[in-house]
Structure 1
Amino acid sequence: MLQYKIIPVTDFQQNSTLLWCDQSQKAALIDPGGEPDLLCSELESRKLIPEKILLTHAHIDHVGAVAELARRWSIPIEGPHQADRFWLDSLAEQCQVFGFPKVESFIPQRWLKQHDQVTVGELLLEVRHCPGHTPGHIIFYHADSKLAWVGDVLFKGSIGRTDFPQSDTASLLKCIREQLLPLGDEVRFIPGHGPMSSFGEERHSNPFLR
């Protein structure tokens, strides 16, 4: 069975998620954006086995702790889509622009694309490519739990910003309508920032989707 804990990190309060399989005790971190010591302590306190790091997209507030954690635990990095490589190539510039401490650069061991699957222990997550906020943005969906990690594609009452290089509002809205909402109104989602919601709630109340 899937278990998880949302861990907001840094002054940006981005949602990092500690996700684990309670049968194998193997765990992944989704979008570890900073505070690696905090994320380590959360994992170690549960005696979990770190297996991999999963990334929805390559903005600094979602990848700030990736290189350090991957090195500490000797685990692979999976995601995002390769179209976000230019963001990873500019991590130093991102740190300067957004006021983040300098971080190590990295390249994922596995880029992900539409319909790929990733495993965490005995759990299986589906991958959907959802460009718009960034060109290589992906989301992770666990069908058995009806739970999705959508990064900065969709928020409770809002959608992701599209004022970055290679962002596109029309693509973002198209992905929400064609990739996310068809999963079902009952599907809950964890956004990159802020509280959880469901696709049904956003379908009916989100002003950007009306």
Structure 2
Amino acid sequence: MNWTQLPLGPLQTNCYILSNEKGECIVFDPGAEGEKLVSWLNENHLRPLAILLTHAHFDHIGAVEQVREAFDIPVYIHKEEAEWLTNPALNGSARFQLGEISGQPADHLLGNEDSLTIGSFSLRLFHTPGHSPGSISYFFEEGNAVFAGDTLFMGSIGRTDLPGGNHEQLIRSIHDHLLTLPEEVIVLPGHGPATMIGDEMERNPFLNGF
């Protein structure tokens, strides 16, 4: 199986496509440029099975409806952010000058599940709040990678000054769920380049002491 990073929109939010040898795929965080994303998927002969959201801030959900409608696939989100897809005040789009975003509710709400299987894709789920109340990190053990959203970045961590953010909670989420993964696991963040768990344990100034 392979993953592809596609930075989209004015904030260059990373959308990830996780695909298998049969041409099936999972779409993580389709944040913007829906037409471009749908074209890319079709040009690469990929058939999406689902949209998985690490969280529902506006820059991670801007193309959800276009992708969902184009391929008639379900959307998964944590139950803590069940209303965010439909409410610009909650997803933050009402605060910025990039256009308000509202769509249909998610098809599946995730809670205390520790795993998720869609087709041939098996993922471990970690509820990693702090950047937002419903942030989820998806660990793809077979590919040795974790889709971390805006929880952990190369040399940094997610911002916690937005509504629902909590710095201490974010540090605890990273420590309890991400830093317990093998050091060679690749971290696929919501913005910027990929990194590795071991590198962040050693060099991330926000995680000193862990």
Q: What TM-score do the two structures reach when normalised by structure 2?
A: 0.93
Q: In terms of mean alpha carbon deviation, does 162-171 or 104-113 score higher?
A: 104-113
Q: Does 1:18 align with 2:20?
A: no
Q: Per-residue displacement from partner, 1:178-198 (whole Å, max 9, x unpaired)?
A: 100111111111100000000
Paired AA for residue 75 in structure 1: I
The residue that corresponds to 2:7 in the other structure is 8
Q: What is the distance in 2 between the residues matched to 1:115 and 1:185? A: 24
Q: What is the distance in 2 between the residues matched to 1:114 and 1:157? A: 29
The residue that corresponds to 2:81 in the other structure is 84
The residue that corresponds to 1:54 in the other structure is 52
Q: Does 1:155 align with 2:153?
A: yes
Q: What is the distance in 2 between the residues matched to 1:11 and 1:59? A: 14
The residue that corresponds to 2:165 in the other structure is 167
Q: What is the distance in 2 between the residues matched to 1:66 and 1:116? A: 24
SS in 2 for 1:15: strand
The residue that corresponds to 1:99 in the other structure is 97
The residue that corresponds to 1:202 in the other structure is 200
Shift of residue 92, structure 1, vs aligned partner: 6.0
- Percent identity over the alignment is 36
| Residues 56 and 139 in structure 1, CA contact (< 8 A), matched pair in contact too | yes
Larger relative contact order (CA 8 Å, sep ≥ 6): 1
Q: Per-residue displacement from partner, 1:102-146 (whole Å, max 9, x unpaired)?
A: 434221111113443233431211111001000111010111211
Shift of residue 69, structure 1, vs aligned partner: 1.4
| Runs of at least 5 residues in structure 1 that lack an aligned partner in the other structure | none
| Residues 38 and 70 in structure 2, CA contact (< 8 A), matched pair in contact too | no
Paired AA for residue 10 in structure 1: G
Map of 1:60-75 to 2, 5 A cutoff? 60-75=58-73
Q: What TM-score do the two structures reach when normalised by structure 1?
A: 0.93
Paired AA for residue 20 in structure 1: S
SS in 1 for 2:143: coil
CA pair 137-151 structure 1, distance change in 2 beyond 3 A: same
Paired AA for residue 69 in structure 1: V
Alignment root-mean-square deviation, CA: 1.5
| Residues 131 and 137 in structure 1, CA contact (< 8 A), matched pair in contact too | yes
Give the number of equivalent residue pairs.
Answer: 207
| Residues 20 and 121 in structure 1, CA contact (< 8 A), matched pair in contact too | no
SS in 2 for 1:103: coil
CA pair 153-207 structure 1, distance change in 2 beyond 3 A: same
